[in-house]
Structure 1
Amino acid sequence: MIAAAREALAAQPEGIRERVRLVQGDGRDTGVHFLPGSFDVVLCHGVLMYVEEPDPLVAGLARMLAPGGLLSLLVRNGDALAMRPGLAGDWAGALAAFDTTAYRNRLGLDVRADRLSALTATLAGIAAPLHAWYGVRVFTDTAADDAPIPDDLETLLAAEERAGRTDPYRGMAALLHLCGVRG
């Protein structure tokens, strides 16, 4: 991923390249690279599923936030793991998914999902309580990775955005987007 990021960064204009610093390391050790309160926004999207114990990483990210700063997490929804196999007609897989947060992702890797209640408690415990949360990929989770872009993309995006902020749909989304704000 670092190599891919370096390659993408190299293709950017100098004004962008000079403002970006790529750092490889353990997210729990953010204090080695950044002073507490260094950032107004910290994004952690598509990472927690690969971390066995996410709380120390989330706490490290929150330490980097300035007062009032936003911590944005995008995670696999552990409360909706039965949806994908169920919609695909894999009834045994759907039943098994109710009792676990472990799953095999589209890359073929065994990873884990996070539950909204657990992350809400984690955010509260690190002084960055949950401010808002959204569902992501409510209707499109079963779309093939190589599916063509539909002609009515704007309508699809509007439906996803509306479902992602509306109960009960957002709770059934494949992914959760949580926003915690540093006190």
Structure 2
Amino acid sequence: MVARQIDEQMAARFPAGQRLRVLDVGLAHGTQALRLARAGHEVTALESDPATVAAVRKVLAAGPAEVRDRVRLLEGDGRDTGAHFTPGAFDLVLCHGVLMYVPEPDPLLAGLARVLAPGGLLSLLVRNADALALRPGLAGDWDRALAAFDSPYDTDRTGVPVRADRREALAATLAGIGAPLRAWYGVRVFTDPPSCPRPADLDRLLAAEDRAGRTDPYRAVAALLHLCGVRGG
């Protein structure tokens, strides 16, 4: 779903065939970075975990040389973009699944906006604080559901503490740093926790998630929010 949404926003912002300068902050499995490099874009990835960087290097080493040459992997904290990159260095900045581990997101977001070129696209994937009580409530975990009404903090599936964000608060922050919100989607409306559908059902599941992720009121109760800001100038 996130890949579809990124491609949709790229098509709306950039001429067809333009090779973009992409920054991926918080590499994870490298899903988007590798996908965009395979599509011809120049990708820089900033990741603080050496093991993650090593795993993605291994994937790159097993693939085509032309894709490997389009990817630059750097070890570092996403909050230190100013130390690594000049202002306006990127057309597309991805920050997926990172803000949930950052106690105070505003400095990180300001740094990301700084390295965006005018008209550049900022893609954020965050936990949805407005729907934190929904999943534990549906699962009958009443203590966790009640706690979610009063705190944006929770734990991920590995037990690591994480923080959720509210769309309105992030929209205000994006406006303040010069990259106002232009589009937003819900991610994992029906499939949180993720399910393993039968192959025959996959297309219909994706169609339902795609429709729900862009339709009110469903997208507002998704487990994750995908917010897209555009740098002014």
In 1, Cα distance between equivalents of 2:119 and 2:194:
37
Q: CA deviation at 1:149?
A: 4.5
Matched, 1:105 2:168: no
In 2, Cα distance between equivalents of 1:60 and 1:28:
7
AA of the residue aligned to 1:126: I
TM-score (norm 2): 0.74
SS of aligned partner of 2:103:
coil
1:87-166 to structure 2, matched below 5 A, reads 87-144=138-195, 147-166=196-215
1:1-183 to structure 2, matched below 5 A, reads 1-144=52-195, 147-183=196-232
- Contact kept, 8 Å, 1:38 with 1:66, in 2: the verdict is yes
Equivalent pairs, count: 181
- State the superposition RMSD in angstroms: 1.3
AA of the residue aligned to 2:217: P
Further displaced range: 161-170 or 91-100? 91-100
- Contact kept, 8 Å, 1:28 with 1:59, in 2: the verdict is no
In 2, Cα distance between equivalents of 1:81 and 1:132:
22
Identity %: 73
Residues 86 and 20 (structure 1), Cα distance of their counterparts in 2 relative to 1, 3 Å cut: same
Which segments of 5 or more consecutive residues in structure 1 lack a partner in the other structure? Answer: none
In 1, Cα distance between equivalents of 2:179 and 2:210:
24
In 1, Cα distance between equivalents of 2:55 and 2:173:
31
Larger RCO: 1 or 2 (CA < 8 Å, sep 6+): 1
Q: CA deviation at 1:30?
A: 1.2
Q: CA deviation at 1:5?
A: 2.0
Q: CA deviation at 1:4?
A: 2.0
CA offsets 1:47-68 (integer angstroms, 9 cap, x no match): 1111111111111111111100
Which segments of 5 or more consecutive residues in structure 2 lack a partner in the other structure? Answer: 1-51
- Contact kept, 8 Å, 1:44 with 1:72, in 2: the verdict is yes
TM-score (norm 1): 0.94
In 1, Cα distance between equivalents of 2:147 and 2:199:
33
Q: CA deviation at 1:123?
A: 0.4
Residues 77 and 65 (structure 1), Cα distance of their counterparts in 2 relative to 1, 3 Å cut: same
Q: CA deviation at 1:28?
A: 2.4
In 1, Cα distance between equivalents of 2:62 and 2:97:
23
